[in-house]
Structure 1
Amino acid sequence: MRRLYVIGIGAGDPEHLTVQAINRLNEVDVFFVLDKGKEKADLVRLRHEILDRYVTRPYRLAEARDPERDRTPADYEAEVKAWHGRRVDVYQGLITGELRENEVGAFLVWGDPALYDSTITLLNAVQERGIAFDYTVIPGVSSVSVLAAQHRTTFNRIGTAVQITTGRRLADGWPDGAADVLVMLDAHCTFTRFTGEDMDIFWGAYLGTPDELVVSGRLADVAEEIVALRSQARERKGWIMDTYLLRRN
């Protein structure tokens, strides 16, 4: 039986890896790496750095190009489903073409595999096609955990609820019953819609990496600074991964 690990590798700092993750890395025969193009070469480079630092046994690398998708589709859900279908094809090809019987393979997942990552969903879809393998998920340090740590704050306050959502969902309005909202995957600085309200923001980009940026303060006071900083960083690096906590006062 082929076996796989889905290993959370943290938000960017190689020291985010848990002891469990390092132990599982040293059981792997082949690591699967998805190339996301030149703009995101840093993401592949970090994975190589992690392997160089922690793996002490021989291993193979199997690389494939991550399929492109339309970032501004007319039908978002339909486009994501079609993209996932293309990614399932890639995952199936890697598993059947590169992982031999009785070997162990691994996907190294940014942050934590349970939080806005599709690897588990894609592997389940490969299994539904009749491809036989077993897999185990190793949790990792998420970007929202690093965000809270860098700002020395918490996700929630006493007796209040916190919600994790996306910029796309936040654009539909503030979540009911939430006093604190953690926002991921926001390409449009949706927080600017709330500058007229009494809120604080805790923002971070490239968390855990040498390029890390963090800003916090009253939303109305720092929103423009974050928008400018984000734009400059994206232009400089070609990509950006950021997240933020909005807190109603």
Structure 2
Amino acid sequence: MIDLFLVGIGTGDPEHLTLGAIRTLEGADLILLPRKGGEKADLLDLRKTICTDVLRASVRVAEFDMPVRDASGTYLDGVNSWHDAIAAEWTRQIEAHLPGGSGRVALMVWGDPSLYDSTLRIAERLSAAGTQVRTHVVPGITSLQLLTAAHAIPLNTLGGPVTITTGRKLREGGWPSGAERMAVMLDGDCAFLELPRDGLHIWWGAYLGMAQQILDAGAVAECGARIREARGTARAEHGWIMDTYLLEYR
């Protein structure tokens, strides 16, 4: 039996780890670290920093190359095939490093495994493929928490709802009926610029919690183009970018 621990680690600052996360990583028999290509080496380096600087116990660590998603077909078909390939790679790594077929395996997940992260869905594929696995989740700080903390604002209006969506959904459907505030993730094309701008306010952040953190806020009519330019410059400099933002019509 494999006990698989999905450990939320926040977004780059080792101080974001909870005591429970640290204890879980220290108690693992194996920590798997994904390599996502040279342009995202920073993400691997941050995970390595956690292993070397935060953990006091010696734990076996194995790096593996993350499969690449095929973007040529439909979005959902491509993602499902990609998740199958990742699950197969997890299985190969576990079999190679825990040949007895049992132990505690940990994977570090950016933010929290519950919020726009597919690690839990990939873990389900291990059981479906016949691996005896128990999945455990150690929650972490999310990018939304870091965004609101960085701007010193509440996530919701007084007693109001918050809609959490993706840039793709925002482009397809526009502003949802009844929404007061909207948090947007996974937006590579600044979909907020396609909304009516009169009264639209944005709080934006990239590389939240990291040394290269960038913040901007204001009326989209005034700062929207500036955010798009800053985003493009940062992506070109680092080779990757993770950002999120909160929107409100005032």
In the superposition, the TM-score normalised over structure 1's length comes to 0.96
Aligned partner of 1:66 in structure 2 is 66
Residue 5 of structure 1 contacts residue 137 of structure 1 at CA under 8 Å; is this kept in 2? yes
Residue 126 of structure 2 contacts residue 133 of structure 2 at CA under 8 Å; is this kept in 1? no
Aligned partner of 1:240 in structure 2 is 241
After superposition, residues 75-154 of structure 1 pair within 5 angstroms as: 75-99=74-98, 100-154=100-154
Which deviations, in whole Å up to 9, do the C-alpha atoms of 1:132-175 show, x marking residues without a partner? 12221000001111000000111110132101110000112112
Which deviations, in whole Å up to 9, do the C-alpha atoms of 1:4-42 show, x marking residues without a partner? 211000012111101111111110121001110100000
Counterparts of 1:55 and 1:199, CA distance in 2: 44
Matched AA of 1:151: H
Look up the SS of the partner of 1:171 in the other structure. helix
**In the superposition, relative to structure 1, how do residues 52 and 126 fare at CA in structure 2: closer, same or farther (>3 Å)?**
same
How far has the Cα of 1:101 moved from its partner?
4.0
Residue 195 of structure 1 contacts residue 223 of structure 1 at CA under 8 Å; is this kept in 2? no
Moved more, 135-144 or 95-104: 95-104
Which deviations, in whole Å up to 9, do the C-alpha atoms of 1:179-208 show, x marking residues without a partner? 101000000110101253311100000000
Which deviations, in whole Å up to 9, do the C-alpha atoms of 1:54-112 show, x marking residues without a partner? 211221111211111234x4511111111112112112212222234442110000110
Aligned partner of 2:218 in structure 1 is 217
Aligned partner of 2:21 in structure 1 is 21
In the superposition, the TM-score normalised over structure 2's length comes to 0.95
Look up the SS of the partner of 2:150 in the other structure. helix
Counterparts of 1:61 and 1:197, CA distance in 2: 51
Unaligned runs of 5+ in 1: none
Counterparts of 2:56 and 2:225, CA distance in 1: 47
Residue 184 of structure 1 contacts residue 244 of structure 1 at CA under 8 Å; is this kept in 2? yes
Counterparts of 1:109 and 1:194, CA distance in 2: 32
Residue 10 of structure 1 contacts residue 143 of structure 1 at CA under 8 Å; is this kept in 2? yes
Residue 175 of structure 2 contacts residue 195 of structure 2 at CA under 8 Å; is this kept in 1? no
Which deviations, in whole Å up to 9, do the C-alpha atoms of 1:188-235 show, x marking residues without a partner? 110101253311100000000000000001111000100000000000
Aligned partner of 2:202 in structure 1 is 201
Residue 29 of structure 1 contacts residue 58 of structure 1 at CA under 8 Å; is this kept in 2? no
Unaligned runs of 5+ in 2: none
Matched AA of 1:51: C
| RMSD over equivalenced CA pairs, Å | 1.3
Aligned partner of 2:53 in structure 1 is 53
Residue 5 of structure 2 contacts residue 105 of structure 2 at CA under 8 Å; is this kept in 1? yes
Counterparts of 2:187 and 2:7, CA distance in 1: 24
% identical equivalent positions? 40
